[in-house]
A and B are shown apart, each in its own frame.
Chain A
């Protein structure tokens, strides 16, 4: 193996050279604390506010509506717990079965604190039912949290429609846009809160933001300094924020070209994998993120497939039980009713801006052989 082929870009992405370049001065040169009065402090403040303005412009919101955080897990927690604590009179929250754990777990935690949570079903492609959503909203519903694009199967939710339904009923709408941001056009008109992480988009790890629409008050999770308009204390991560802004601008400037290429690679992947017997595509055929392909292989287990591919320098991931610390198959695959045998044999392939056609071809050259090898030692034969 001379070169690795990285196809796990939904887990994280390499930092783009332009992003690193933009960040570099803020480590050793412009290292000031943005709260300081002196020139170094002002320099850092300027960089942060420039970044905030860039991101706000991308989303079509005002800079004061962007709260920088340590990433999307914090942004999701701040949105959900922060909203719940700030509006004690309403104690009902709606989410979906296929949310990331960074949404599901804060919701479950709120449940343990006496809040009520309704978790919406999804259909076999991973989409929620808007009628079910309407029926579930009550007088005391505070917040609906539904992700824009799913991190495992790529399915896109109709966020605009969800937002309109929520707005008509006076309910706040939060969306975890970690995978969708920079990959699909997002109209923020009907979104009240939106979470983003930099490292999924060729930015650095450890930084993200929560968009909070004006008029929505949040109880902060972190206290001590009153940074970010009192919504998130802690000295600002200047290089991180600069990197996040640079990564955002880069992603949105190149979005059309990048996603068109990603969609071509995705089509090629799906067609080639479909030609292997005993496979199924998990997720939605059209309403889907351009960079995620989730497939299942009959008769083999996902963790061994990932390890076999790794032997060939190809890096992917799986929703199989064996790969999870709880030994349960992915909650997303179970929610979309993937048969249990197929849920154990899932493989997620996710491309990035750096992924080439040659890499996909090399992967597709190895994949059928590896699947064959594992099927040869499995008691379950395809077609039986």
Chain B
């Protein structure tokens, strides 16, 4: 079901781990849906004075596709100017991996979203002007993250009920 390129990136992921000295981090996904991606960027100026992503890394909890897209997006963004990096779409990421199974397309969105969020955080922290498209995307993502957080809280509440002593089907027939 996965392309060879996906498998290759999954088996030998690039730029994994946490940067020691990062400029910003983009955190997307939630444990409730089974994918969480943290993307770290280090921004510096190139000889022409343009801001570039001089180093990048990630930490991902997720499936094969989530790990492969993390690896791929980090490769694609490395050395790019912020403007170029902002232009990377989830479609680009999937294409670079020779495609993803339809059910896994959301993983490529997660990778591009994480990059978006890292750049957004960098620009905000440094009080740079934020392009409209980036801002709109950030607002949409923030909303999604909040709703995932709600779902997660609901799950946790259910877990607490289940781990208490009173649920139907519990207690009376505890393990022998």
A residues near B (Cβ < 8 Å) are 120-125, 127-132, 158, 284-287, 299-301, 303-304, 307, 311, 320-323, 325, 327, 329, 337, 339-341, 344, 376-380
A-B CB contacts (within 8 Å), total count: 114
B67-120 at interface with A (beta carbon < 8 Å): 67, 103-104
Q: Please tell me which one of the listed residues A286, A300, A303 contacts residue B175 in the complex, with CB atoms under 8 A apart.
A: A286
Interface CB pairs A-B, < 8 A, 22: A122-B169, A123-B167, A123-B169, A124-B162, A124-B170, A127-B169, A131-B172, A284-B175, A301-B61, A301-B62, A311-B11, A320-B63, A322-B66, A323-B63, A327-B34, A337-B163, A340-B31, A340-B156, A377-B17, A377-B58, A378-B59, A379-B36
> In the docked arrangement, what's the CA distance between A2 and B34, Å?
33
Q: Are A377 and B169 in contact (CB under 8 A)?
A: no
* Interface SS of A by simple majority: loop
> How many positions in chain B have a CB within 8 Å of any CB in the partner chain?
44
> In the docked arrangement, what's the CA distance between A376 and B36, Å?
14
Contacts of A299 in B (CB 8 A): 61
| Contacts A287-B175, A379-B38 supplied; 8 other A-B pairs, CB < 8 Å | A300-B61, A301-B66, A323-B63, A339-B159, A340-B152, A341-B31, A379-B60, A380-B36
> In the docked arrangement, what's the CA distance between A299 and B36, Å?
10
Q: Are B173 and A127 in contact (CB under 8 A)?
A: yes
Q: Are B169 and A129 in contact (CB under 8 A)?
A: yes
Contacts of B63 in A (CB 8 A): 301, 303-304, 307, 320, 322-323
With A300-B61, A327-B103 already in contact, the answer to whether A129 and B33 are too (CB < 8 A) is no
Can you name the residue of chain B whose Cβ is closest to the Cβ of A340?
B155
> In the docked arrangement, what's the CA distance between A129 and B11, Å?
45
With A123-B174, A340-B155 already in contact, the answer to whether A304 and B10 are too (CB < 8 A) is yes
> In the docked arrangement, what's the CA distance between A380 and B29, Å?
13
> In the docked arrangement, what's the CA distance between A339 and B161, Å?
12
B176 close to A (CB within 8 Å) = yes
> In the docked arrangement, what's the CA distance between A106 and B27, Å?
42
Kindly provide the distance from the CB of B164 to the nearest chain A CB, expressed in whole angstroms.
10
B145 close to A (CB within 8 Å) = no
B171 close to A (CB within 8 Å) = yes
Q: Are B34 and A285 in contact (CB under 8 A)?
A: no
Can you name the residue of chain B whose Cβ is closest to the Cβ of A379?
B59
Can you name the residue of chain A whose Cβ is closest to the Cβ of B7?
A307
Kindly provide the distance from the CB of A125 to the nearest chain B CB, expressed in whole angstroms.
5
Q: Are B162 and A380 in contact (CB under 8 A)?
A: no
Kindly provide the distance from the CB of A361 to the nearest chain B CB, expressed in whole angstroms.
24
Kindly provide the distance from the CB of B171 to the nearest chain A CB, expressed in whole angstroms.
7
> In the docked arrangement, what's the CA distance between A304 and B37, Å?
14
Q: Are A130 and B61 in contact (CB under 8 A)?
A: no
Q: Are A376 and B16 in contact (CB under 8 A)?
A: yes
Can you name the residue of chain B whose Cβ is closest to the Cβ of A125?
B175
Kindly provide the distance from the CB of B174 to the nearest chain A CB, expressed in whole angstroms.
7
B168 close to A (CB within 8 Å) = yes
Q: Are B62 and A304 in contact (CB under 8 A)?
A: yes
Q: Are A376 and B169 in contact (CB under 8 A)?
A: no
Can you name the residue of chain A whose Cβ is closest to the Cβ of B168?
A121
Contacts of A125 in B (CB 8 A): 174-175
Contacts of B173 in A (CB 8 A): 123, 127-130, 158
Can you name the residue of chain B whose Cβ is closest to the Cβ of A303?
B63
> In the docked arrangement, what's the CA distance between A311 and B7, Å?
10
Kindly provide the distance from the CB of B73 to the nearest chain A CB, expressed in whole angstroms.
14
Q: Are B67 and A304 in contact (CB under 8 A)?
A: yes
Kindly provide the distance from the CB of B30 to the nearest chain A CB, expressed in whole angstroms.
10
Q: Considering the complex of A and B, which 9 residue pairs feature the smallest CB-CB distances, nearest first? A: A121-B169, A322-B63, A337-B162, A303-B63, A379-B59, A129-B169, A321-B34, A123-B170, A344-B34
Q: Are B103 and A121 in contact (CB under 8 A)?
A: no
Can you name the residue of chain A whose Cβ is closest to the Cβ of B161?
A337
Contacts of B169 in A (CB 8 A): 120-123, 127-129, 132
Q: Are B171 and A123 in contact (CB under 8 A)?
A: yes
Kindly provide the distance from the CB of B68 to the nearest chain A CB, expressed in whole angstroms.
10
Can you name the residue of chain B whose Cβ is closest to the Cβ of A336?
B162
